[in-house]
């Protein structure tokens, strides 16, 4: 065995890949292993709306070619789920019972779409948008000029809706507290932002006005494929129903690891967890932020990428503190549309 340090990264998204790149640059002789449940190499998730423009070849979404990983000696373990992390012995256990030892661990496992408990029984009738195959499934299910019903409406959903409207699909947004997530819009400002959505072509229904959603069911023969029933007895029919209720960190495997978790992994400003060799970056960590005296989530690819880089720098000897890279405020444009800074990925 060589004496080279083994850096293990859980997750192969923006943070994980940025960290790997930085680690390779700053620690050329090290071993780098990136573990991800995804079967795809790192691809541009933000670009998934392109699937609706007819682009179905996932290779065109890939950020780095296979050669990049070979050249940089980054062992990419795809379709591999971590089930446990042992911070004392510095090992992680994979679902297939393989044990990997690490010298440093970066948890950049990201987040998955959140589905409120009351909707979980309808999951088979809802279509997600978190993975490439889910985007393809929606695109293949949706008829020409089809009707999409969006529940919640976080910024990922609103971004997709912009494309769908442009492609002359009908989008009905069932707005609630998750609309505009992760942006925080005050009650006072909300009517202006809802109006902006309507100005952009959305049909917006405030869920509260109908007493909230009572049920989702299969549409009757001859009608669109999905039927929504509200507590006031009214109904809404659409071809596809998609939930967009924001994200929750993927951290199941960290339970019992000995590392502090609140909603996300709690990290110091240098992105180190409560274990000195374990760091976190991305949507799954809450960073101690002195200005507000609490642990905060930071969103958007610029922030996530910066976290990946910072974590790698600190893993390799730097001692730098996190500073947000992104203005997270939702904006209204002069022509009456909303614009999220998280959409600035192109």
Partner 1 sequence: MNTDVQIAIVGSAGDGTIAAGDILRRAMAEIGYRVISFDLYPAEIRGFGKCIARLRVSDEQAYSLKQKSDILVSLDDSHAIPHVGEAREWGAVIYETNSVNPLPEGAHLSAHIDPGQVPYNVPIRELAEKSTGAARSRNIVVVGYIIGLMRLPLEPALRALTGKFKGKGEIAQKNEAALRAGYEEGLRWFRLDDIEFGPPPAQERGAHLEMINGNAAIVRGALDAGIDTFFGYPITPATSIMERLASEMPKRGARLVQTEDEIAAISATLGAGFAGARAATATSGPGLSLMAEMLGFGVIAEVPSVVFVSQRGGPSTGMPTKHEQSDLNMAVFGGHGDAPRIVIAPTNVEGCYRCAGRAFEMAEAYQTPVIVLLDLYLSNRYETVPFPDRPPFEADTNRYADTRGGAAGFQRYVLTADGVSPRSTPGQPGGMHVATGLEHNELGRPNDQPDMHLAQSRKRHEKLKAALRHPGFEPAKRFGDTGAVDVGLVAWGSSFGECLEAMYLAQEEGIRCAALKVLMISPFPVEMATSFLADCKEVLVPEVNYQGQFAGILQMQVPRAVTRMTRIPCAPMRVEEILDEIRRLAGRVVEPQAA
For residue 39, CA distances in Å to 36, 61, 79, 187, 345 come to 8, 14, 5, 41, 23
Q: Whole-number minimum distance, CB 22 to partner 1, in Å?
A: 19
Q: At its nearest, how many Å lie between partner 1 and the CB of residue 81?
A: 9
CB of 300 to partner 1, least distance (A): 27
Smallest gap from Cβ 96 to partner 1, in A, equals: 4
Q: Which residues bind partner 1 (CB under 8 A)?
A: 39-41, 58-59, 65-70, 75-80, 94-101, 132-133, 136
Q: How far is the CB of 154 from partner 1 (least distance, A)?
A: 24
- Beta carbon nearer to partner 1, 81 or 337: 81
What are φ and ψ of residue 18, in 5° steps?
-65, -40
Backbone φ/ψ region at 121: left (φ over 0), alpha (ψ -120 to 50), beta: alpha
Angle at the Cα of 225 (from 224 to 229), degrees rounded to 5? Answer: 85
Q: Which residues on adjacent β-strands are paired with residue 330?
A: none
User: Of 39 and 168, which has the nearer Cβ to partner 1?
Assistant: 39
Q: For partner 1, which is the closer residue by CB, 70 or 198?
A: 70
Question: In whole angstroms, how close is the CB of 61 to partner 1 at the nearest point?
Answer: 11
How far apart (Å, rounded) are the C-alpha atoms in residues 198 and 331?
15
Distance, CA of 163 to CA of 342 (rounded, Å) = 15
CB of 6 to partner 1, least distance (A): 9
Nearest CB to partner 1, comparing residues 14 and 330: 14
Measured from the CB atom, the residue of 6 and 227 that comes closer to partner 1 is: 6
Q: In angstroms, rounded to a whole number, what is the distance separating the alpha carbons of residues 343 and 160?
A: 10
Identify which of residues 34 and 315 has a Cβ nearer to partner 1 in the complex: 34
* Euclidean distance between CA atoms 83 and 98, whole angstroms: 10
Q: What tokens appear for 54 in the block?
A: 């007819």
Q: Cβ(41)–Cβ(13) under 8 Å?
A: no
Sheet containing 31-35: give its strands across.
74-77, 31-35, 6-10, 104-107, 278-280
Closest by CA position to 172, among listed 180, 164, 181, 184: 164
Smaller CB distance to partner 1: residue 96 or 293? 96
Hey, CA dihedral for 87, 109, 282, 8, is it positive or negative?
A: positive
Smallest separation (angstroms) from partner 1 to the CB of 76:
5
Instruction: Report how far residue 174's alpha carbon sits from residue 213's, in angstroms, rounded to the nearest whole number.
Output: 9
CB 209: neighbour CB atoms within 10 A? 11
- 288: which strand partners? 295
Of the pair 90, 314, the CB lying nearest partner 1 is at 90
The CB density around residue 63, as the number of other CB atoms within 10 Å, is: 14
| Nearer Cβ to partner 1 (135/194) | 135
The minimum distance between CB 136 and partner 1, in angstroms, equals: 7
């Amino acid at each position: 065995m060589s004496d080279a340090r083994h850096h293990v990264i859980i997750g192969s998204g923006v943070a994980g890949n940025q960290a790997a790149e930085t680690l390779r640059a700053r620690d050329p002789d090290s071993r780098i292993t990136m573990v991800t449940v995804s079967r795809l190499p790192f691809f541009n998730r933000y670009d998934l709306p392109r699937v609706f423009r007819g682009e179905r070849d996932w290779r065109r979404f890939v950020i780095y070619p296979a050669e990049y990983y070979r050249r940089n000696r980054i062992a990419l373990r795809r379709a591999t789920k971590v089930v446990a992390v042992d911070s004392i012995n510095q090992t992680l256990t994979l679902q297939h019972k393989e044990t990997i030892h690490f010298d440093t661990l970066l948890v950049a496992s990201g987040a998955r779409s959140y589905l409120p408990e009351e909707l979980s029984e309808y999951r088979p009738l809802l279509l997600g948008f978190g993975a490439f195959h889910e985007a393809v499934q929606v695109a293949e299910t949706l008829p020409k000029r089809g009707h999409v019903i969006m529940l919640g409406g976080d910024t990922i959903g609103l971004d997709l809706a912009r494309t769908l409207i442009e492609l002359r699909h009908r989008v009905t947004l069932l707005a609630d507290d998750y609309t505009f997530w992760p942006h925080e819009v005050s009650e006072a400002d909300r009517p202006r932002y809802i109006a902006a959505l309507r100005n952009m072509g959305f049909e917006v229904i405030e869920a509260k006005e109908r007493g909230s959603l009572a049920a989702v069911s299969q549409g009757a023969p001859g009608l669109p494929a999905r039927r929504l029933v509200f507590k006031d007895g009214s109904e809404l029919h659409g071809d596809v129903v998609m939930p967009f209720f924001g994200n929750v960190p993927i951290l199941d495997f960290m339970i019992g690891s000995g590392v502090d978790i609140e909603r996300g992994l709690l990290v110091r400003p240098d992105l180190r967890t409560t274990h000195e060799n374990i760091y976190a970056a991305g949507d799954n960590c809450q960073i101690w932020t002195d200005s507000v005296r609490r642990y905060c989530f930071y969103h958007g690819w610029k922030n996530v990428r910066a976290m990946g880089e910072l974590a790698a720098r600190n893993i390799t000897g730097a001692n730098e503190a996190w500073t947000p890279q992104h203005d997270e405020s939702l904006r209204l444009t002069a022509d009456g549309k909303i614009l999220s800074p998280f959409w600035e990925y192109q």
